A and B are shown apart, each in its own frame.
Chain A
């Protein structure tokens, strides 16, 4: 019974999603390849974790149609990306350009990694020093002298 419910839910969602619209402009096979690649590099603004190529949303269909007509008009990939960027911002690009506003996002993890590495090296160095100074006691307390002797004996 539960499965039946889940299966019916599945078909429900299929009913909500709009079918991709028929594309108006036909392109040469070469342009067809280019646009397919381009669509995978662009984000659908409605289903935000889907590319324009994958999204069944109505808006994605409209955008695909626009991109096709731009491509048919001889625009370059960068022109087309610029067209979308001017309207929807860098968010449409799956590979956002490096800017001062997202510098931390690009390099923050590496900076943290670097800090961690420095900390690690310092810690290990320090420990090494402690071990050395602990292993060779120089103070003249009775315990230290006894320990020193013990060490020397074991070394021999």
Chain B
């Protein structure tokens, strides 16, 4: 009854100040984190799932096929590329270097590309792929959850997708993420 009018206690004053500040800080934290998220990079739902079934013609010789079954027992890198894909050229020298080391086989997944264009591109920029398969109509790419080239997958010996990178890989990503993972998977 006898509380002094309008005058707040120290504790009340502290709360009135601290509570909105805390709420603001939380919201700010979320927004700040948002600055570093790339909306184009979706979390892949296929990680931990088996590689989709495929039997595709090879780029070098379309009468030859290559299938999922032929990948089993080895760790693979699968690199989605196309001669029409400008960003693929950015990462290409890294794959050329990697292929020279012969540490891991690389499957080139030639996405919606004509054979002549694909062969021309490989002749011009070099061919790091142990095999290149051709997905002319993009049907298998959908099974892989591909939505933009380049995309790079790492597949373990049992044919399970262990890793996915969307966009051109960098030397940093290759050294720090991909190669250590490949080593671990190969040791299994």
Contacts and interface: CB of A to CB of B under 8 A. Distances in A.
Interface of A: 45-46, 48, 58-59, 62-63, 65-66, 85-89, 91, 112, 115, 130, 133-134, 138-139
9 contacts: A62-B138, A62-B139, A65-B137, A66-B142, A88-B42, A89-B42, A115-B23, A130-B5, A133-B3
Given A87-B142, A130-B6, A48 B43 contact: no
Interface residues of B, number: 25
Contact of A134 (B5, B39, B40): B5
B68 to A, nearest CB: 16
A138 B143 contact: no
Nearest to B6: A130
Contact of B45 (A86, A115, A133, A138): A86
Given A48-B40, A62-B137, A85 B45 contact: yes
B101 interface: no
Given A58-B138, A62-B139, A88 B45 contact: yes
Given A48-B40, A133-B1, A138-B2, 6 more contacts: A58-B112, A58-B138, A62-B139, A63-B142, A133-B2, A133-B5
Nearest to A44: B147
A89 B145 CA distance: 9
A143 B44 CA distance: 74
A43 to B, nearest CB: 10
Interface of B: 1-3, 5-6, 23, 39-40, 42-46, 112, 137-139, 141-148
Given A45-B42, A59-B147, A134 B138 contact: no
A59 B5 contact: no
Dominant SS among interface residues on chain B: loop
A48 B41 CA distance: 11
A45 B146 CA distance: 9
B27 to A, nearest CB: 9
A66 B139 contact: yes
Given A48-B40, A62-B138, A87 B1 contact: no
A76 to B, nearest CB: 19
A48 B6 contact: no
Contact of A89 (B23, B43, B137): B43
A134 B5 CA distance: 6
Contacts of B147: 45-46, 59, 88
Contacts of B141: 62
